[in-house]
Structure 1
Amino acid sequence: MNLSFWEADTWFSEIDFLIIGSGITGLNAALHLRKKYEKAKILIFEKGMLPEGASTKNAGFACFGSVSEILEDLKNQPEEDVVALVKRRVQGLELLRQNLGDKVIDFQSYGGYELFTEEDTLLYEECLDSLGKINKTLFPVFNAEVFSVKQNSFRFKRIQPQLVYSKFEGQIDTGKMMSALVKKVQSEGIRILNNVEVKTFQNNENDVEVITENFRIKTKKLLIATNGFASRLNIPEVKPARAQVLITQPIQNLPFKGTFHLDKGYYYFRNIGKRVLFGGGRNLDFKTEETDKNGLTELIQNKLNELLKTTILPTTAFEIERSWSGIMGVGQTKDPIVKELSPNVYCGVRLGGMGIAIGSKVGQELAELATT
């Protein structure tokens, strides 16, 4: 790479902390490092023009888990682990709101709902029967009952007559959130270099050498915050999971506001002003959607359209304005991985589709781990 003295001296020399990934986790890690080290030289590499994972492509759900998801977790994990994970998500949301402010991220507390299809009678009845137990389990986190039952007043079709409601769920504007985070990071003298893809790294005696497509750079400490792309850097506990999303054009007299979960959380939708954002469906083809390549499939896009017409907006005309996809990081459990990989190399990955909720917290934990 043909660098001048000024470029090499300003951007590429004597790096104290190098962070891979400029999403929610990476940016929050950088901010927490700056709080501890006012004069540290902090550099962030992002392989895309914008963050290419889920941070700028998600649905903007400020949520901690639906009833069916928590019920499933309780079947597979000790109760204390489930409660601890929900608590981390709640703390992450609080941290995000404190850092940026509700007005800046356009936080709206319309509440969240879980819907159950007519075919899902067994799950529906199980969730309703379990509300008391789940509310008791989560009471220490919220100091209130989390879930209650409401009637379907939104004109949804082909679903069970009652919805499970939580007043603690909200929504944000993902674009405004990420723009504010980037602005805050840059105001702290932290540099972000885009279109820099890291291929690998190697430990030296006193530093870490990071190897990109076009150059090599040394840093005292390396922090990996690539989530869905973690397997590219040999973190095998994380698998990519593509999520496909679409959004409608504005709809007059949209009959609902809030965030909604359907089919164990595999489908999710919300209003964005007068628009409907609708995503999910990877359970239709897990194998194809286990990829870190962005793209759309006819199978899932057709299903999203079908559910919009038959279930969500059965009496309302709509037109699709845009479709896209984002890459999440998932694994055998839903707990994020925050650990030291090798001397002076650390990772904060596997957010499990809950990046809005837990990304700020994982970024904080990653920064703390790298400096203890």
Structure 2
Amino acid sequence: MLSYWEKKHFFNYDLIVVGAGFVGLSTAIHFQQKHPKAKVVVLERGVLPTGASTKNAGFACFGSLTEILDDLKSMTQDEVLDLVRRRYKGLEAIRKEFGDKGIGYKHTYGFELLDRALISDLDQLEGVNSMLRVLFTQDVFSKVKKVAHFGFSPHIEAIVKNKFEGELDPGTYLDSLWKKAQKSGAKILTGITVEAIQDSQGLAIAKDGAGEKLEFSGQKIAVCTNAFSKKLLPELDLEPGRGLVLLSKPLEFEIPWKGTFHMDKGYVYFRQIDGRLLLGGARNLDFGGERTLDFAVNEQIRTHLQQLANEVVFPGKSLEWEMQWTGIMAFGSSKTPLIQPVGTKTAIAVRLGGMGVAVGYEVGRELSGILGKM
């Protein structure tokens, strides 16, 4: 039951942003900066962002060698270059905006492990470097000379280094976004589940944690809930992709490497965190099963990841696991983010293709520009 004061002050806005992840907060920040007198609210159903913003592995990456080669099989060279450009420029933008300390960034480089199944891709390393030189002016990828020093399984025949990648702390990054959004004047309301959008009336129909129905009125509405956006707009070209992340207990041995690592065309990834192994991905083992909005754990994938930890990452060692979690990403027929109006008062920014860390901030900036012209 709402009071007169609550109805008067908290339900009418110039812009309603649905989703308080990286994209939603960025959208609110950039719109508020361009329109300082506007009333902006961000609605989030969870206490923390529900999708993947704070559930990802913290990779500041834009694409491994084999991932880029795989993309070239279904995309033009210009399309692949545009993807890499968008991702890398996005990472550069958040480093510049918040500083490395503000996002917990460490420039520890990216690496990719190649086994016998993928070793032939190494023959195309120079060709990919040549293609990317228009963006980076120098070689991105290089072959690591002393593979044995990493201590991986002998089945790993080569390691490729990417000197432009690093790692960050998603929690630190989100905290910086919170502070910037609040400083700009935007409100953030959590525990609010938006169940429907009525574009013609500028209404976001929602309910709170107690189940009470709420109606937020806005001159404009931004939908930034990535895979969950299809619940509000079923016609969207996107589908969910669940990702599993495992975190070990503190390791009793010294880790002989640092950096961010990929395997299997980018589908598997790992890094060290506070003396622990963080390992995740492998949704390619069961694309159908992982095409879901359910945050459950796929036992087939968990078993596979644990096996990789014991046999490939730290061969001969048995790790104990302390935590596990899943995040929901969004994919579609194209790897390009979907940023566009979907009505007279509503616009969306979704389908980040598992690269929300890299592209989310700039996608929000782009969406705010579209909203400003509506």
> TM tier, shorter chain?
over 0.9
Distance 1:199 1:38, change over 3 A: same
- Provide the identity percentage: 40
> What stretches of structure 2 of length at least 5 have no aligned partner?
208-212
Give yes or no for contact 2:33–2:184 (8 Å, CA) kept in 1. Answer: no
Distance 1:231 1:303, change over 3 A: same
- Provide the residue aligned with 2:250 in structure 1: 250
Q: Deviations over 1:128-167 (max 9, x none)?
A: 1111111111112112111010032211104332211111
- Provide the residue aligned with 1:176 in structure 2: 172
Give yes or no for contact 1:27–1:181 (8 Å, CA) kept in 2. Answer: yes
Distance 1:292 1:158, change over 3 A: farther
Q: CA deviation at 1:275?
A: 1.3
Give yes or no for contact 2:153–2:312 (8 Å, CA) kept in 1. Answer: yes
Question: Are positions 1:159 and 2:155 aligned together?
Answer: yes
Distance 1:161 1:117, change over 3 A: closer
Give yes or no for contact 1:107–1:172 (8 Å, CA) kept in 2. Answer: yes
Q: Deviations over 1:243-275 (max 9, x none)?
A: 011001222311211111111111110111311
Write the letter of the residue equivalent to 1:23: G
Give yes or no for contact 2:243–2:326 (8 Å, CA) kept in 1. Answer: yes
1:136 partner SS: helix
Q: Deviations over 1:182-226 (max 9, x none)?
A: 12211222111111111111122xx51111132112100010111
Q: CA deviation at 1:277?
A: 0.5
Write the letter of the residue equivalent to 1:197: T
Task: Name the Cα RMSD after superposition.
Answer: 1.3
Give the distance between the partners of 2:229 and 2:115, measured in 1 at CA.
35
1:101 partner SS: helix
Give the distance between the partners of 1:208 and 1:144, measured in 2 at CA.
49
Q: CA deviation at 1:317?
A: 4.6
> What stretches of structure 1 of length at least 5 have no aligned partner?
none
- Provide the residue aligned with 1:288 in structure 2: 289
Give yes or no for contact 1:115–1:159 (8 Å, CA) kept in 2. Answer: no
Question: Are positions 1:5 and 2:10 aligned together?
Answer: no
Which TM-score applies when normalising by structure 1? 0.95
1:216 partner SS: strand
Question: Are positions 1:229 and 2:228 aligned together?
Answer: yes
Q: CA deviation at 1:315?
A: 4.1
Give yes or no for contact 1:279–1:304 (8 Å, CA) kept in 2. Answer: yes
1:64 partner SS: coil
- Provide the residue aligned with 1:54 in structure 2: 52
Number of aligned positions between the proteins: 364
Aligned 1:197-346 pairs, distance under 5 A: 197-204=193-200, 207-213=201-207, 214-234=213-233, 235-251=235-251, 252-346=253-347
Give yes or no for contact 1:104–1:180 (8 Å, CA) kept in 2. Answer: yes
Q: Deviations over 1:31-80 (max 9, x none)?
A: 11111011110001111121010001000000000111111111211111
Give the distance between the partners of 1:28 and 1:159, measured in 2 at CA.
43
Aligned 1:95-134 pairs, distance under 5 A: 95-118=93-116, 120=117, 123-125=118-120, 127-134=121-128
Give the distance between the partners of 2:139 and 2:22, measured in 1 at CA.
29
Which shows bigger deviation, 153-162 or 24-33?
Answer: 153-162
